[in-house]
Structure 1
Amino acid sequence: MNRQIGMRIPPKLGAEGIESLAKWASSIGIDVIDVPYFNEEVKTALEANGLEVGSIDGLGAVGQTKLLSTDDKVRLQAVESINAQFSEIATLGGRVIFMCLVPEDIMTDRKEAFSIWKETFPSIVKQAEKENLYIALEGWPGPAPYYPTLGTTPEMLRAMFNEIPSKHFGLNYDPSHLVRLGIDHLRVLTEFGDRVNYCHGKDTEILHDDLYEHGILAATFGAKYDFSEGSWRYTIPGQGEVDWGKVAVRLDKIGYQGPVSIELEDHRYWGSLEAERQGIIKAKEHLSIYFK
């Protein structure tokens, strides 16, 4: 299987600037870069180093998005802004929009947020269809204790895809979130494979001693590690519960043609430029076993 391997931009590498980042990424064999925004400068820097753009963060759609505001005027402005952004991205040749649908008020009940989403999203997806863009929902459940993000569980994904059957509205397959939630990450590919618009290379280790201490609840006195809530921690591929060989087989079976993009969230490879570089390199080495 010959599939591209990409990466999201961690903070220290990002601080080096897009040209420096692109040059380094190309030197280690990265094919694709996910970006927080896409403009001529970014496009030129990527192309000059033989790289392609991967997913592009949707305006206001990472973190607490105004797309799910309870205020009608605020929500309308957010829809108009993201539709305009879609047109700009399409003109530059972008194709995948990364979205994390956390309500503006994180205390908003998911059922209420879903009702807002049903009013908001049809016009957004129509714009995506018009511009030939593909929305990929991020599966991060959101901050504890509310976990308000839409599109993180099979129950919610099924309801959303029933409402909007367009394949221009799909998911970013990230098994790390599914593992921490106790969801069968391979079964998700079986049920929702035709809606996978992007894929992240990130893993999760289950910390069984900590699971005994406080179960699936967030640790009362603080987690031992960064990128953790107590009984689990995010890690680079190959250091957690995900069987990437089986993931590769299933991605191939469903006909997924996109990259597998490293999202570096592992406390061992964080905090310095050299640590981030090592994390990306080690993640790529493991993914390359199955995707190159």
Structure 2
Amino acid sequence: MKLGFLTACLPGRTLEELVEWAADQGYAALEVAAWPALGDRPFTATHVDVVGFGAADAERVRALFDKHGLTLSSLAYYDNNLHPDPAERQAVNAHVTACIDAAALLGVPTVGTFVGRDPGRSVAENLRMAGEVFAPLVERAGERGVKIVIENCVMEGWHPDGYPGNLAYSPELWEWMFDLGLYLNYDPSHLVWMGIDPVEALRPYVDRVAHAQAKDIEVFPERRNRYGWPGRAVVREDPWDVGWWRYRVPGLGQVDWRRLVDTLYEGGFDGVLSVEHEDPVWGGTEARVETGLQVAHRTLSPLLVA
């Protein structure tokens, strides 16, 4: 198993700067952000522009990673593949396709995205639509030797009332995804606030985890007593501020990383564990983000067998 991080936490850095810094800090891999270049949402970045990506681009990126002894573990484009606007949905699907093609040129094994959701439709209706949307994507990925991995993020901010906006939040939905030919980019933090044991939930499905993310979470039960599970309802200016939990870098939250890494090893996982830095305490400036990544490295690196 190798330790990496998702580059979206440092959107202002070039890929060259990120690779050099990661290698200097002892990281062995990068999960590279590949959102469209004109995007402006938080926790997104364009460190590989997959639009018009060709063989020469792939050679340049491969040479960069080889020079510093790093692995490019996945291309990351997490967006709503079931967007309620048909034009926007088609654009998202098309960008996933471009990521698949770029990953194939690079020899990268996975492309990460979300299932998503149309919040105006029932779960059952969304699942039927997802079967249609993902069939050609899975087929294209398979033809090119790439796996599509879905992060089990709840994406509560995509739903007007804070309910799940990404239909991949539970083992029940993972099994449905696997039937479509999708794989899991496993992140334990999202399960904790939903009341699911992240270790026991993972144990039966390690063989379908093609990539893993390391994000921690800090939960405040006394605040949940006020807001309930969906979070703030009366005043919620930020759709992502539920009011009773927050993400942290590994080691500063409640995930038992020793048990979790051991479960991955026991199940045969030998891929990349990628730190996803969304910690508000160690955010806000590049220097603080770097410190957060260093904290995560100190927490996780002793648990990984070189």
Please tell me the TM-score bracket, short chain as reference. 0.7 to 0.9
**Superposition map of 1:128-207 within 5 A:** 128-142=141-155, 143=157, 144=159, 145=161, 146-161=163-178, 163-164=179-180, 166=181, 169-207=182-220
**Structure 2: how far apart are the matches of 1:174 and 1:15?**
25
Secondary structure in structure 1 of the residue aligned to 2:167? coil
How far did 1:80 drift? Answer: 5.5
**Is the partner of 1:269 in helix, strand or coil?**
coil
User: For residue 20 of structure 1, what is the aligned residue in structure 2?
Assistant: 17
What is the match of residue 46 of structure 1? Answer: 65
For residues 170 and 103 of structure 2, the distance between their equivalents in structure 1, rounded to whole angstroms, comes to 29
Quote how far apart the aligned CAs of 1:47 are: 2.6
Q: CA RMSD in A?
A: 2.6
- 1:31 maps to 28
Matched, 1:9 2:7: yes
Aligned 8 A contact 1:46 1:53 in 2: yes
Structure 1 segment 202-221 matched on structure 2, within 5 A: 202-220=215-233
Secondary structure of the residue that 1:147 maps to in structure 2?
A: coil
Amino acid at match of 1:43: R
Shift of 1:239: 1.7
Secondary structure in structure 2 of the residue aligned to 1:238 = coil
Q: Distance in 1 between matches of 2:232 and 2:169?
A: 21
The CA distance in 1 between the partners of 2:280 and 2:95, in whole Å, is: 35
Distance of 2:88 and 2:13 partners within structure 1:
35
Shift of 1:208: 2.1
| Structure 2 partner of 1:240 | 253
Structure 1 contact 196–256 (Cα < 8 Å) conserved: yes
Q: Aligned residue for 2:107?
A: 93
Contact 1:202 1:234 in 2 (8 A): yes
CA 1:56/1:81 → structure 2, altered by over 3 Å: closer, same or farther? Answer: closer
Question: Which residue does 2:293 correspond to in 1?
Answer: 280
CA distance in 2, matches of 1:239, 1:45: 32
- The 2-side partners of 1:84 and 1:97 are apart by 10
Q: SS of the counterpart of 2:269?
A: coil
Tell me the distance in 2 between the aligned counterparts of 1:245 and 1:272.
Answer: 29
CA distance in 1, matches of 2:253, 2:239: 15
The alignment status of 1:57 with 2:79, answered yes or no, reads no
Q: Which runs of 5+ in 1 are unaligned?
A: none
List alignment gaps of at least 5 residues for structure 2: 35-47, 49-56
> For residues 260-275 of structure 1, what are the structure 2 equivalents within 5 Å?
260-275=273-288
Measured in 1, the distance between the counterparts of 2:212 and 2:258 equals 14
User: Using the alignment, how far apart are the partners of 1:243 and 1:5 within structure 2?
Assistant: 17
Structure 1 residues 172 and 113 mapped into 2: Cα distance closer, same or farther (>3 Å)? same
Which one-letter code corresponds to 2:277 in the other structure? L
Whole-Å separation in 1 of the counterparts to 2:235 and 2:90: 39
Q: Percent identity?
A: 27
Go from structure 1 to structure 2 and tell me whether the alpha carbon gap of 1:287 and 1:64 turns closer, same or farther (over 3 Å shift): same
Residue 214 of structure 1 deviates from its aligned partner by 1.9
Amino acid at match of 2:23: S
TM-score by length of 1: 0.86
**Aligned-pair distance for 1:282?**
0.3
TM-score between both structures, scaled by the size of structure 2: 0.82
The Cα shift of 1:269 comes to: 0.7
Which amino acid letter does the alignment assign opposite residue 170 of structure 1? Y
2:4 partner letter: G
Verify the 8 A CA contact 1:110 1:149 in the aligned structure 2: no
Instruction: Count how many residue pairs are aligned between Structure 1 and Structure 2.
Output: 279
Task: Say if 1:68 and 1:116 are closer, same or farther in 2 by CA, change over 3 A.
Answer: farther
**Secondary structure of 1:268's aligned partner:** coil
- State the Cα distance separating 1:42 from its structure 2 match: 3.7
User: Partners of 1:183 and 1:282 in 2: how far apart?
Assistant: 25
